[in-house]
Amino acid sequence: MTLTFIPPLSGVRAAMSFILRQVLWCTAVFLLLACGHLAADEPVRHKLLMIDESRSQLLYVDQYEPAKNWKLHVEGGSAWSLQLVGNNRVLLALPGKGGFREYDLATQKVVHEKFDPVRYNGAMSATRFPDGRTVLGCAQKSVRIVVLGPDDKEISAHDFPEINGLRQVRRTERDTLLLGSFGEDIFEVSLDGKILRRLKLENAKFNYQVIELPNGNLLASAGYGGFLAELDKAGKVVRQWGGRPEPKGLKYIFMSHFQTLKNGNIVVATWTGHRKSDSKKGQQVVEFAPDGKVIWKWHDSGAAGSIHGVIVLDDLDTSRFYDDTILTKEYAKARQ
């Protein structure tokens, strides 16, 4: 006769409890791995505000909800700079009209503008200061820097014959100004008309935008040089993004306006030419990771021509004022 051992009820319960815990643990691990896999495969998407030089447009692109996309024709010619200045407004410079204009982002209507087609002719850049002043960078016979008060009345104007052209003028924490030139030169100037510093970015061809990081280094887009560079205080290049030869599927014809992101990445508009059809030549915007790899690009030659200015709106509050001195702080933290 065979005897069968029947465990006590408490033993059965313990065994079942153990098996259940193992099943739950395995399920949890599977879900974590699956979620991680899905997150890794999820494409990079952005909400973008962009200026289109070749088609004279201001565009909003929402890659999360494309139905919210809009674009408007900028009356008076192409805009050449853009900045979020608070109250849901964007500030644009209009060189053809000689001054600046503000649009309400909710209504896409003009809410404020200031023009003087003679004195402010060639206003390539409009920079709003936190105290309400507006600085115009004008490409005339020589570079002219104009400071307007919050009431739009002119406070000062200084010409810089030593500087050969400009595109963007950017504020530093010291309320000085950084700008590039048509060649390799980068300048820091004061509001009272003095050149404080002059550096060279080798192999640059038309430095488009220059900003200062919290550690005192500079970030510059090298125009037709096709790259971005970080320079130390002595002007030595310590990091570079882009350059030639380009990776397959990318074109770096001209590096223009860029924005630093709080994750340590940089998004830059890669302008492709003055003609409306030049956007077919290559992507219009790219995003660089800190290691220099391109992790995202935007290209829609039907919607836009040559993009030369971009703001990534993802986590920005358009009711607030922003400039580079604010945006670079989060970027610097991510890079530590």
Q: Where are the domains of the chain?
A: 46-335
- What is residue 334's predicted lDDT score, i.e. its pLDDT? 86
- What is residue 13's predicted lDDT score, i.e. its pLDDT? 55
Distance CA(156)–CA(142), nearest Å, equals 16
**Among candidate residues 157, 187, 182, 183, the one with its CA nearest the CA of residue 169:** 187
- Mean pLDDT (the chain, rounded): 90
Tokens found for residue 326: 């604010």
Adjacent-strand bridge partners of 7: none
User: Does the pLDDT of residue 3 top 50, yes or no?
Assistant: no
User: Does the pLDDT of residue 116 top 80, yes or no?
Assistant: yes
**Among candidate residues 16, 97, 14, 102, the one with its CA nearest the CA of residue 58:** 102
Per the model's pLDDT, the better-predicted residue between 138 and 40 turns out to be 138
* Percent above pLDDT 90 for the chain: 82
- What is residue 181's predicted lDDT score, i.e. its pLDDT? 93
CB crowding 225-245: b at 16 or more within 10 Å, else e: bbbbbbbeeeeeeeeebbbee
User: Does the pLDDT of residue 12 top 50, yes or no?
Assistant: no
Adjacent-strand bridge partners of 192: none
Q: Where are the beta strands (DSSP E) in 235-332?
A: 237-242, 254-260, 266-271, 285-288, 294-298, 307-312
Superfamily for domain range 46-335: TolB, C-terminal domain (2.120.10.30)
Q: For residue 130, say if its preceding peptide bond is cis, omega within 30 degrees of 0.
A: no
User: Does the pLDDT of residue 111 top 90, yes or no?
Assistant: yes
- What is residue 17's predicted lDDT score, i.e. its pLDDT? 54
Distances in whole angstroms, Cα of residue 222 to Cα of each of 59, 66, 176, 182, 250: 24, 32, 21, 10, 17
pLDDT bin (cut points 50, 70, 90) of residue 321 is very high
Contacts of 192 (CB under 8 A, 6+ apart): 156, 158
- What is residue 21's predicted lDDT score, i.e. its pLDDT? 57
What confidence tens digit (pLDDT) does each residue in 80-108 have?
A: 999 999 999 999 999 999 999 999 999 99
- What is residue 42's predicted lDDT score, i.e. its pLDDT? 83
- What is residue 39's predicted lDDT score, i.e. its pLDDT? 45
- Please state which of the ranges 154-163, 184-193, 270-279, 320-329 shows the lowest mean pLDDT: 270-279
